[in-house]
A = this chain, B = another copy of it.
């Protein structure tokens, strides 16, 4: 019996995060304030601890992972690297397909990789409470879990439509001791204003961010936490790719191409950046690895957006970030991969894409579920709709290999399980799931609202 699951010992959990900034040909474009000047750490200190802000701005190549964070990581890490031999056989491809299973974390996705250090650094800074927002619930669950690990109270503003449609994500957060409020709520001025205008407002991620930030900014004992987009989030996620590299060495193999879903960019950054370090040094044994971000065709920031300064949130409260964006007031179609419905992208991922160091592609919703079901029937694991984007790209690549006869090594990031997304699979099996046309007109309109910056 061949080994197909490549595990590591717990003392092989990486001791440092990898900072891709150290290998970028140009320094990252700084975030800008409303006046067009770069935003310094002091302006963000009301809602983030200084240790996080230092990571956000750091150019150091290696950032040590605090021991208490590694001790929480070991509850589920190292996560397995698995060779999908049954999927290979089902496709009849000469390619070798591997995936990293980040769904094994308590919260069910890669998100705790950054939630845990964020909770830790806040605790170190004497912070007792963290506010955050959640759409589909993956991030809120991860922050609830991480807060519980370090004795921090967590308050989650959950987009009201999700609060009503995904009650079990809410239950999960409560099991880990978090408070969950439907947003818009009457806990903040933002929420009260919205409800005064429209008591039936079902909320949006942009408004939920505004509520969480407003509360954190107004209380000295409370900070705010974000689950994607920012540099420190990408940094924390690099534990995925670093583990994968050790596991590929054990497997005696190395990826020719890496696929990861891409919304805010954290799961792509996490798995891809450590391979980019090798590419920057001329590739692994002289051969570079292709790094491909896979986004939904209905929310294609990298492949159809513009590279420009824009707000991180819908309402224009955050600093301006240089990124591929569809316009901050673009409202993505209601695809089931809620974690990929973001108008912009990580500034680091955006800059690397702009400079041609990574690739991007988009896939339609129906194709992602076709791929997810093919995968589940071959390998057992039922993936999250976000993960299905990477799986779809990996399967297409494997089928191209079947045509050409190439025995490529394909690697994708299985970012989470689909246990709380079965309603989406129901729609798929009922034939009710559709594709969304490229929302060209809406994107053109929102791109007209880009802020004017030097």
Is A355 located at the chain interface by the 8 A CB criterion? no
Instruction: Find out whether the CB atom of B175 lies under 8 angstroms from the CB atom of A376.
Output: yes
Is A420 located at the chain interface by the 8 A CB criterion? yes
- Tallying the copies of this chain within the complex gives 2
Name A167-200 residues within 8 Å CB distance of B. Answer: 167-168, 171-172, 174-177
Chain A 98-139, CB-CB to B under 8 Å as 1, else 0, gives: 000000111110000000000000000000000000000000
Q: How far, in angstroms, from A72 to B75 measured CA to CA in the complex? A: 25
> In the complex, which residues of chain B have a beta carbon less than 8 angstroms from the beta carbon of A172?
382, 422
Chain A 1-42, CB-CB to B under 8 Å as 1, else 0, gives: 101110101110100000000000000000000000000000
Instruction: Find out whether the CB atom of A1 lies under 8 angstroms from the CB atom of B11.
Output: yes
> Which of B1, B13, B104, B175 contacts A425, CB < 8 Å?
B175
Is A76 located at the chain interface by the 8 A CB criterion? yes
Q: Which chain B residue shows the least CB distance to A10?
A: B3
> In the complex, which residues of chain B have a beta carbon less than 8 angstroms from the beta carbon of A171?
422-423, 425-426, 429
Is A148 located at the chain interface by the 8 A CB criterion? yes
- Residue from the set A7, A82, A381 with the largest chain B CB neighbour count within 10 Å: A7
Q: How far, in angstroms, from A4 to B425 measured CA to CA in the complex? A: 36
> Taking A171-B422, A171-B425 as contacts, is the C-beta distance between A75 and B380 under 8 angstroms?
yes
- Chosen A-B contacts, 7 in total, with CB atoms closer than 8 Å, are A4-B10, A4-B75, A75-B86, A104-B104, A106-B376, A168-B422, A175-B373
> In the complex, which residues of chain B have a beta carbon less than 8 angstroms from the beta carbon of A61?
none
- Nearest first, the 6 closest Cβ-Cβ pairs linking A and B are A106-B380, A168-B422, A171-B422, A419-B419, A3-B10, A171-B426
Instruction: Find out whether the CB atom of B174 lies under 8 angstroms from the CB atom of A382.
Output: no
Instruction: Find out whether the CB atom of B3 lies under 8 angstroms from the CB atom of A11.
Output: yes
> In the complex, which residues of chain B have a beta carbon less than 8 angstroms from the beta carbon of A54?
none
Is A71 located at the chain interface by the 8 A CB criterion? yes
Q: How far, in angstroms, from A145 to B86 measured CA to CA in the complex? A: 14
- Residue from the set A4, A145, A171, A423 with the largest chain B CB neighbour count within 10 Å: A171
Supplied contacts A1-B67, A3-B74, A106-B379, 8 more A-B pairs, CB within 8 Å? A1-B10, A1-B13, A1-B71, A5-B74, A106-B380, A167-B426, A171-B423, A174-B426
Is A232 located at the chain interface by the 8 A CB criterion? no
Q: How far, in angstroms, from A108 to B380 measured CA to CA in the complex? A: 11
**Closest Cβ of chain B: how far from A176's Cβ, in Å?**
6
Name A58-76 residues within 8 Å CB distance of B. Answer: 67, 70-71, 74-76
Instruction: Find out whether the CB atom of B426 lies under 8 angstroms from the CB atom of A382.
Output: no
Instruction: Find out whether the CB atom of A382 lies under 8 angstroms from the CB atom of B106.
Output: yes
Instruction: Find out whether the CB atom of B75 lies under 8 angstroms from the CB atom of A379.
Output: yes
Name A362-398 residues within 8 Å CB distance of B. Answer: 373, 376-377, 379-382
**Closest Cβ of chain B: how far from A90's Cβ, in Å?**
11
